[in-house]
Amino acid sequence: MVQAVFFDVGNTLILASPRFWLLPFLQERGLKPRKDPKGAALAAFRFYEEHHLEARDLETALGLWREFHRRLFTGMGLEEHAEALSRELVENWKDPRFWPLTPGAKETLQALRERGYALAVVSNWDATLPEILEVVGLRPYFQHLSVSALSGVAKPDPRLFQEALSALGVRPEEALHVGDSEADVAGARGAGVKPLLFDPLGENPEALHRLEGVLDYLP
């Protein structure tokens, strides 16, 4: 019987797609991408994934985010604005509007807590994640945060899940993991945890599209 629920963060609890936070930021400044923002985002996130394990402290992490943003703006054809915009975003990294919550995130976590489930984050992220979860109001829901840069391993490595299992004192068959990527599915299965694929954009017909739907998979 499930006793604990694990959550990924990017595109699970927080909407990572630039359409939700970056495009409004540009519109406020009268700017619009000159090149495909989707392609630029894919390249920037690939860079982030390749380097985020190095970002074990805030200084390094913020440097990584500045380079991430610079690559993102450059890829969008906004080279002349890239440095200034990147600096502005990093200076305001604790502004919750840059970390928009997935609809139903707080309500789902609250309902799970009220039902007595233990909750943990299992996420590929840098050292900023604990503070980001604080500013968006999600940190109090979780008994443990397994953050790849702080733990030294990243999904799909099952050790990130095993850390959460140990911290919560539950067996693999007693946990469910909700995440948006193949790394979430493979890592959870590797640790013996049941995965639940989530897609906040509603593009994957095999995935759950509303976070509240997690409750339907639990007793």
Domain that holds residue 69: 18-98
Q: Are residues 105 and 47 in the same domain?
A: no
Q: Are residues 114 and 212 in the same domain?
A: yes
**Residue 19, both tokens:** 């359409």
Which amino acid appears at position 50 of this protein?
Answer: E
Q: Are residues 125 and 213 in the same domain?
A: yes
- The pLDDT of residue 126 is above 90: yes
Q: Are residues 82 and 141 in the same domain?
A: no
Tally of domains within the chain: 2
> Of 72, 98, 124, which closes a domain?
98
By the 8 A CB rule, do 13 and 198 touch?
no
- pLDDT tens for 26-76 read 999 999 999 999 999 999 999 999 999 999 999 999 999 999 999 999 999
- pLDDT tens for 160-186 read 999 999 999 999 999 999 999 999 999
Q: Are residues 62 and 108 in the same domain?
A: no
Residue 161: give its domain's CATH number.
Answer: 3.40.50.1000
List the one residue out of 117, 163, 136, 115 whose CA is nearest residue 12. 136
Determine the 3-state secondary structure of 210 from DSSP. coil
Strand partners, 28: none
Q: Are residues 10 and 91 in the same domain?
A: no
Q: Are residues 64 and 94 in the same domain?
A: yes
Q: Are residues 178 and 124 in the same domain?
A: yes
What b-and-e string marks burial along 142-156, b requiring 16 or more CB atoms within 10 Å of the CB? bebbbbbbbbebbbb
> Of 98, 133, 166, which closes a domain?
98
**Residue 40, both tokens:** 């630029």
> Of 62, 77, 98, which closes a domain?
98
Q: Are residues 190 and 143 in the same domain?
A: yes
Rg from Cα positions in the chain: 17
Instruction: Tell me the CA end-to-end span of the chain in Å, nearest whole number.
Output: 8
Which amino acid appears at position 28 of this protein?
Answer: E
Share of the chain above pLDDT 90, in %: 100
